[in-house]
Amino acid sequence: MTDIAEGEVLTDVHRGVGRILLNRPKALNALTTGMVAAIDGALAAWEHTPLSAVVIASTSVKAFCAGGDIRTIREHSLAGDAEASERFFASEYRLNARIAEYPVPVVSLIDGMCMGGGLGLSVHGTFRVVTERAVLAMPETGIGFFPDIGASYFLPRLPGAMGMYLGLTGHRLDAADALYAGLATHFVPTDRLGAVADALADSPGAPVDVVLNRLADRSPVGASRLAEVRGEMDWAFGAPTLGEIEKRLRHLDTVWASDALIALESASPQSLEITHNLLARGRQTLRECLAAELTLTRTTIRTPDFLEGVRAALVDKDRSPIWEREAQGGQTPPA
């Protein structure tokens, strides 16, 4: 993981609007330490500049941001370089907090994939614009990790048991689901997305919400599939334990419940336990949640499940991880 992000993050101020462009398209804008530092540095430099808004967007047609460069974190763990991993997570979480506390509205333009760290760049800002190509998810339990970047703050604050469902299963949301969940605030078609920064610059005195609504198309939220299963979701994932969640899903015996069970059964058992505990107590402040997550990263990234999960998903790409508990015949590994 390089600490230099030359050309991978493009920043400027255009007619009173700060613009940050993620420009690592071949890696789907997976965040490196250098990229995080470049974004954080730009925001820090602009804090006392009279801006009307800051826009975060991507040069990739496929992704806003696929998350943190977790494959490199695995390499650090294998090499015993805890300092490099600590530097990445600590700087990423500081950036998440800065975005949440920024003095002017931060507007993220989510076109394509937005996973993990991509949500850290967007959901803490004031406005999250999605297009018809947007796909949002926190898929960490499938790679032996846990939903971080402040997810233990924002997931428990979603309606009902939606946050627990999304955090445990890694379910992918389209634009309609993202708007229904509240992870997105506006829907703007892809062909109008490039006009957002100019529209904000043209109307510096207007509320950002009003400017975005002028560009918005009819919201697809009525087509949300999450809305259709909301009752089942709240009942099943509102259960107090993982075992009870699985029991309720089996009792429902619906297609949605079956899919949710498959997702849980394919995830790392260790990650499910960490995530459930984290989200169950996540009603703290954002900074407290980020501090707790940083502490968890130090141990989690050294576990066999993390090394195996990232191997299966991002290195060998066989999508067939063998979790430690499975390798031990179903026995719970010692803490």
Q: Per-residue pLDDT averaged across 1-17, rounded? A: 79
**Average pLDDT rounded to a whole number, residues 108-130:** 98
What integer pLDDT is reported at residue 154 of this predicted model?
A: 97
pLDDT at 330: 52
pLDDT tens track for 87-96:
999 999 999 9
When pLDDT is cut at 50, 70 and 90, the band that residue 5 belongs to is low
Q: How confident is the model at residue 332 (pLDDT cuts 50, 70, 90)?
A: very low
Residue 220 has pLDDT above 70, yes or no: yes
Name which of 55, 57, 63 is nearest 25 in CA terms. 63
SS (H, E, C) the chain: CCCCCCCCEEEEEECCEEEEEECCHHHCCCECHHHHHHHHHHHHHHCCCCCCEEEEEECCCCEEECCECHHHHHHHHHHCCHHHHHHHHHHHHHHHHHHHCCCCCEEEEECCEEECHHHHHHCCCCEEEECCCCEEECCHHHHCCCCCCCHHHHCCCCCCCHHHHHHHHCCCECHHHHHHHCCCCEECCHHHHCCHHHHHHHCCCCCHHHHHHHHCCCCCHHHCHHHHCHHHHHHHHCCCCHHHHHHHHHHHCCHHHHHHHHHHHHCCHHHHHHHHHHHHCCCCCHHHHHHHHHHHHHHHCCCHHHHHHHHHHHHCCCCCCCCHHHHCCCCCCCC
pLDDT of residue 281: 83
Give me the pLDDT at residue 6, please.
Answer: 72
Contact 96, 56 (CB under 8 A): no
Angle at 64 between CA 100 and CA 148, to 5 degrees: 50
Q: Cβ(61)–Cβ(112) under 8 Å? A: yes
pLDDT, position 333: 37
pLDDT value for 329? 57
**Catalytically annotated residues:** 68, 117, 140, 148
Q: Which two tokens stand for residue 163?
A: 């946050």
What integer pLDDT is reported at residue 100 of this predicted model?
98
| Mean pLDDT across 173-193 | 97
Rounded CA-CA distance 202/215 in Å is 13
Average pLDDT of span 228-243? 97
Q: How far apart are CA 170 and CA 275, in angstroms?
A: 11
Residue 136 has pLDDT above 70, yes or no: yes
Residue-wise pLDDT tens digits, 260-299: 999 999 999 999 999 999 999 867 899 999 999 999 999 9
Per-residue pLDDT averaged across 239-254, rounded? 97
- Position 331 confidence tier, pLDDT thresholds 50, 70, 90: very low
Residue 1 has pLDDT above 50, yes or no: no
- pLDDT for residue 2 is more than 90: no
CB 114 within 8 A of CB 64: yes
Model confidence at 81, pLDDT cuts 50, 70, 90, reads very high
**189/193 Cα distance (integer angstroms):** 6
Q: What is the mean pLDDT of the chain?
A: 94
